[in-house]
Amino acid sequence: MRSIPWNKQARLALASTSLLFIYTLASCTSSAIPTPLQLPATEMEEPSTPTSAAPKLTATLVENTGELQTYLVKEGDTLSSIAAHFGLQPETVLWANVEQLFDNPDFLLPGMQLLILPVDGVYHQVGGTDTLTSIATFFGADPQAIADWPGNKIDESNPVVFAGEWLVVPGGQRLLRRRLMPNLPRFAMAVAFEEFGSGACPKNVSAGPVGDGKYAWPVAQREVVGEGFYTAHPGVDLAVEIGEDVRAADDGVVVFSGWSNLGYGYMVMLDHGNGGYTLYGGLGEVLAECGSEIGEGDVIGAGGLIGHPAGPFLHFEIRRGEEFLNPLELLP
């Protein structure tokens, strides 16, 4: 494949601003994010515990006081480690802080002050037509559990809710409002750059290599430093050095290469021609060209500094059809 000439200083400068652009873009476009998100069925199931290695805790498990708390994000934190610190699922922390994280755990930044619920569930502001039953139905929760939660201060003899008040919904769940990058098959990869970003490819291709479905590590280090694989994070964040080569995990065709408007920063997507796709997000630079035929191990991009408290990482996804797969269960 052809490589784009580049200058190391320019690469570092570009890489250091990557997450700032992602975060600013999300702030400007969050109102346009469709709700509910159209996710594969596997992404709509109830939250599960991350299947990667246990997150690094920032401190010992704190005592559950039953009250709302706040947490100031520090260097080294991940959403999973913060959730584990409070004995919660990461989805609970993500859902409670949608205005800052936009339903993307990789948007975590040092200095953010996060709202922490006392129990797994959602935090909901009552609307004008809401009732206890309608809230419970919408979030898949038990109305009695909402009524019984002490902090909600609901009168047991007259369990009504009032517009504007905030309720903890124990056990509640909701779909992500974030839009994920769809699979782009090589024969239909030409999508609108206004919608998807400048990395959108201008034309389709009809041929190219087919992968064998056996995936190689895309980076040299074999360590998850950001988020692991779970319902709200359908990939893994692998440790990468700034400027380090990022390599294709299997043979395929480049179907997206460049800036993504959907919250991945600079990213590359490969169609492996066998129903499989891989996505490489948070890059400092993309080196693969749209429509290029790629072999396993070919360099497709470079690692960058994205501003996350866990340090630089590559967001890596493996998909089979509409199903998101845990890369740690497939990588050798």
Domain boundary among the residues 136, 170, 204 is at: 170
Does residue 218 fall inside a structural domain? yes
- What is the spatial distance between Cα 125 and Cα 154, in angstroms, rounded to a whole number? 14
Distance set, CA 302 to CA 61, 126, 214 (Å) = 37, 46, 22
What's the structural domain count of the chain? 2
Residues 293, 245, single domain; the answer is yes
> Which residues is 200 bridged to in the sheet?
256
User: Is residue 221 in some structural domain?
Assistant: yes
Say whether both 220 and 259 belong to one domain: yes
Q: Report yes or no on 133 lying in a domain.
A: yes
| 92: enclosing H helix or E strand | helix 90-96
pLDDT of the residue at 100: 94
Dist CA 281 CA 319 (whole Å): 14
Q: Give CA–CA dist 77/318, Å, rounded.
A: 25
Helix, coil or strand: residue 233: strand
- The CATH number covering residue 285 comes to 2.70.70.10
**Same-domain status, 153 and 277:** no
Phi/psi of residue 195, each to 5°?
A: -90, -45
**Which residues, other chains included, contact 151 with Cβ-Cβ below 8 Å and sequence gap of 6+?**
66, 67, 68, 118, 168
Q: Which residues pair with 325 in a beta bridge?
A: 318
CATH code of the domain containing 155: 3.10.350.10
Q: At 163, which amino acid appears?
A: A
Assign 164 to helix, strand or coil: coil
Residue 36: is the preceding peptide bond cis (ω within 30°)? yes
Reported as type and span, the H/E element at residue 139 is helix 132-139
HSE-up (13 A, CA, CB side) for residue 249: 27
Residue 179 within a domain: no
Kind and range of the H or E run holding 281: strand 276-286
Is residue 108 assigned to a domain?
A: no
Q: Do 161 and 220 have their domain in common?
A: no
Answer yes or no: do 166 and 195 share one domain.
no
Position 62 scores a pLDDT of 57
Tokens coding 329: 């269960």
Tokens found for residue 14: 């570009």
Residues 126 and 197 reside in one and the same domain? no
* Strand duo 236-239 + 313-320: pairing: antiparallel
Question: Residue 190's domain spans which residues?
Answer: 186-329
Q: How far is Cα 257 from Cα 164, in angstroms, rounded to an integer?
A: 44
Which residues is 265 bridged to in the sheet? 260
- CA atoms of 51 and 323, how far apart (whole Å): 16
Asked if residue 286 belongs to a domain, the reply is yes
C-beta of residue 20 within 8 angstroms of C-beta of residue 27: no
Instruction: Report how far residue 234's alpha carbon sits from residue 230's, in angstroms, rounded to the nearest whole number.
Output: 6
Output the pLDDT for position 28.
33
On whether residue 48 sits in a domain, the answer given is no
Rounded CA separation 71/332 (Å):
37
- Among 170, 204, 231, the domain-final residue is 170
pLDDT for residue 305:
82
Nearest Cα to 301, choosing from 319, 318, 314, 317?
314
Phi, psi of 45 (to 5 degrees): -80, 170
Q: Give pLDDT, residue 70.
A: 96
Residue positions counted in the chain:
332
For the record, the structure tokens of 177 come out as 């409002």
Per-residue pLDDT of the chain (332 residues; tens, 9 = 90+): 333 333 333 333 333 334 333 333 333 333 332 232 222 322 223 333 333 333 344 444 555 667 899 999 999 999 999 999 999 999 999 999 999 999 999 999 999 999 999 999 999 999 999 999 999 999 999 999 999 999 999 998 898 999 999 999 999 999 988 889 999 999 999 999 999 999 999 999 999 999 999 999 999 999 999 999 999 999 999 999 999 999 999 999 999 999 999 999 999 999 999 999 999 999 999 999 999 999 999 999 999 988 899 999 999 999 999 999 999 999 99
Is residue 29 in a domain? no
Instruction: Provide the 8-state DSSP code for 239.
Output: E
Structure tokens at 321: 């059809």
Which residues make Cβ contacts (< 8 Å) with residue 213, sequence separation at least 6?
A: 250, 272, 274, 276
